[in-house]
Structure 1
Amino acid sequence: MSFAIELDQVSKIYQGKKAVDQLTLKVEKGTVIALLGPNGAGKTTTISMILGLKQPTSGTIKLLGGSPKDIKVRNRIGAMLQDVSVIDNLKVAETIELFRSYYSNPLSLPELLRISGLETEKDKMAASLSGGQQRRLGFALAAAGDPDIIFLDEPTVGMDVTSRQMFWDTIRSMAEKGRTVVLTTHYLEEADSLADRIVVINQGKVVADGSPSQIKAETTGRVISFTAGVTVTTEQLQALPGVIDVEWSGRRVKLHSRDTDQLIMKLIEQRFDMKDIEIQSGGLEDAFQAIVHSTN
């Protein structure tokens, strides 16, 4: 197994308080992973340690098999942090060219302008860009070195809907090319749409880890809904394995369950009179809130 990121029993203590508490995490290459958690959960501290910007109090961190501070490793990563600072008196294209010069195999200027959506702004002064445009410039700078791993901390704050959609498309394209993407966001639909894997951190510890569908199903359960024939009764449905709740709306019925795979098999085996079958998960927002509430 080839891992892009490896954390082993990593802790960070500030003034006697653990911001990160014996956190162990391995991320396979080519994964889009979303790190979620409430404010103060330890996400930003964790990313800062992975990037080598902060030293862990204890534990070990490997990035692409080496130290985060190794120059060869740093040449293969990119990072877009929450605060984007622009350089005075440089145009957008000049700023990107400056960052390209720091890497041995950078993406081309036209490509970086394209993926950041800044082609028409290339001759503008970087300091004159709007907040959303500055976020897009920050993304171009993070991607300048054609990184194997890119860290994106709240990347779409301030972006309009069109810019966010373009950004999502770019991230999917990077993932298809085998890049590892580490994303933190408060937009949970963003994590749900983009991430292969979601890791929820609370009080410095991993409290949930899985695909978006796994996180939602395990936390909020799933719902099977169908139009039931006149012979179907509540008592029959409640007797099925794994049914948590039964809701009726006319002849439309919803069955809440944590194992819809088993439940749908039983419905078919017992030849229930049903049509127009749908299976739905609860939302990631509901799952996230449930996880955080249960671990506080």
Structure 2
Amino acid sequence: MSNPIISLNHVAFAYNKQPVLRDINLTIQPGEIIGLVGPNGAGKTTLLNLIQGILPHAAGITVFGGQPGNPTAKAATGSMLQGNLKLPRVHVAELISLIGDQYTHPLPTSEVLALTNLTAQANQNVATLSGGQLRRVTFACAIVHQPQLLFLDEPTVGMDAQARQEFWDLISRMRARHVTIIITSHYLEEIQHVADRIAILRQGRFAYVGRWDQLQAAHNGGQISFTTPLPPATFSHLPGVTQVAATADHLTLTSQDTDLTVQALVPFFTDLHHFTATRQSLETIYLDLVKEDDKNEEVSQPTAV
């Protein structure tokens, strides 16, 4: 196995003695795509800033074999931040070229424009672009120097559905080039489809690090839908079922264990039609984890007397 791009060993960080990150452990290999998710205030931005050397160095972080922000890491890292570059009187191609000139081996500006689907906007003023176009310009500026490590912070905000799909197709091409990518996004359905591993950050700690299919397998809940002439009460007490929603002859069962519920439905199959079973998405699992945190926080609050 090759040397890791990033190694985090028992990383902790605090602002004004207030803990933000606690015992963070993660190793990221070359070419991996990591989806970093967590509620606001969980420590995502702090962690990314530590890895990039923006914040003072914390013990236990190694990037490209050295401390965060070392010369090798700086030269090999690209960042697509949430804010867009709205520079007055600067054209798209000019901006990309100016940033590329700061590096030793940048891609040709024309190639970056084609890669990010910005050729038609090459001579357009950056300040006049749409939100989705600005995100693509920001991405172009992050990859012009052919980085080996790429940070994407809410990359598809402002993009329409087609632009988002084109963007993720581009990320697939970056994967083929063995670029290591760390993504934060509130579009969790996108994360679950593109990331090799998902890291869920809760209250300054990793609640889960691993593959999406393994996380989903550990959360067997989901929904089962079908049409049937049978009354809803027939299914309300089946194993795993927590709710039955009925619209005319169409029923949707919410289950804590879809496999168990499907097995219990087998005797009724001759009366079930248009049958679908859907496992929990990353978003529903994530929201359940956040709700669990909220409940624990409420329990820990002292009772007023």
**Cα distance per residue 1:150-188 (max 9 Å; x no partner):** 100000000111111110000011112211110000001
Q: Distance in 1 between matches of 2:73 and 2:131?
A: 30
Deviation track 1:97-150 (CA, whole Å, cap 9, x = no partner) reads: 011111222122122112222111110111221222111110001111111111
Provide the secondary structure at the position in 2 that maps to 1:18. strand
Amino acid at match of 1:113: L
Length-normalised TM-score, structure 2: 0.78
Alignment of 1:159-170 (within 5 A): 159-170=159-170
Aligned 1:9-158 pairs, distance under 5 A: 9-57=10-58, 59-158=59-158
Tell me what 1:198 maps to: 198
RMSD: 3.4
Q: Which amino acid aligns with 2:54?
A: L
Q: Which amino acid is 1:72 matched to? A: T
- Helix, strand or coil for the counterpart of 1:75? helix
Tell me the CA shift for residue 50 of structure 1. 0.6
Structure 1 residue 294: Cα displacement: 2.8
Matched residue, 2:286: 288
**In structure 1, C-alpha distance between the alignment counterparts of 2:114 and 2:218, rounded to whole Å:** 39
* Mapped partners of 1:122, 1:62: distance in 2: 38
Alpha-carbon distance between aligned partners in 2 of 1:107 and 1:220, rounded to the nearest angstrom: 46
> How many angstroms does 1:285 deviate by?
1.2
Residue pair 1:11, 1:56 contacting (<8 A) in 2 also: no
* Identical residues among aligned pairs (%): 38
Show CA shifts across 1:188-224 (max 9, x none): 1110121111000011110011111112221344789
CA distance in 2, matches of 1:261, 1:33: 29
Tell me, yes or no, if structure 1 residue 186 matches structure 2 residue 157.
Answer: no
Q: Secondary structure at the match of 2:99?
A: helix
Q: What 5-or-longer segments of structure 2 have no aligned partner?
A: 227-233, 244-251, 263-269, 295-305
Matches within 5 A, 1:181-260: 181-221=181-221
How far is 1:280 from its partner? 4.9
Distance 1:209 1:98 in 2: 38
Q: Which amino acid aligns with 1:102?
A: Q
What is the count of residue pairs matched by the alignment?
A: 291
Amino acid at match of 2:93: A
Structure 1 unaligned residues grouped into runs of 5+: 227-233, 246-253, 265-272
Tell me the secondary structure at the aligned position of residue 218 of structure 2.
helix
Decide whether the 8 Å contact of 2:57 with 2:68 is kept in 1.
Answer: no
Question: For residues 257 and 90 of structure 1, do their structure 2 counterparts lie closer, same or farther at Cα, with a shift above 3 Å needed?
Answer: same
1:135–1:155 Cα contact (<8 Å) kept: yes
C-alpha change, 1:278 and 1:160, in structure 2 (3 Å) is closer
**1:217–1:282 Cα contact (<8 Å) kept:** no
Whether the aligned pair in 1 keeps the contact of 2:220 and 2:258 (CA below 8 Å) is: no
CA apart distance, 1:56: 4.2
| Cα shift at 1:81 | 0.9
Shift of 1:259: 9.5
